[in-house]
Chain A
Amino acid sequence: MEIKENKTVDMLTKDTVSILTQKFITIEGVDQQVGENHRQAYVNSEKGRTELQEKEPANVVDSVLSIWGDVPTVADPETSDEEKG
Chain B
Amino acid sequence: MDIKKIKIGSTVYSIKDETARNDIKAVKIPAGNSKKPVYFNANGVPTPSAYTLADACAKGVATSVASGNTNLVTSGAVYSALADKGSYEKGTWPAEFNNGGTVQKTATGEYVKIGDMVYVYVSSGVMTTALTIDRISGLPFPVRNTSPTNISALFYAKGNTNTSNDMKLASSPITSKTVFIGNASYNTLDLWGWYKIS
Contacts and interface: CB of A to CB of B under 8 A. Distances in A.
Interface of A: 11, 15-18, 20, 30, 36-43, 47-48, 74, 77, 79, 82-85
Interface in B151-184: 157, 168-171, 173, 175-178, 180-183
Report the contact-size class of chain B (Cβ under 8 Å from the partner).
20 to 34
Interface of B: 70, 89-94, 100-101, 111, 134-135, 138-142, 145, 157, 168-171, 173, 175-178, 180-183, 197-198
Contact of A11 (B91, B183, B197): B197
Contacts of A42: 142, 177
Given A11-B197, A18-B141, A40-B140, A85 B176 contact: no
A75 to B, nearest CB: 10
Given A37-B89, A40-B94, A83 B142 contact: no
Main DSSP-derived SS at the A contact region: strand
A40 B182 CA distance: 23
Nearest to A37: B91
Given A15-B175, A30-B70, A85-B168, A79 B100 contact: yes
Greatest chain B CB density within 10 A among A43, A74, A79 is at A43
Greatest chain B CB density within 10 A among A15, A38, A39 is at A39
A15 B147 CA distance: 14
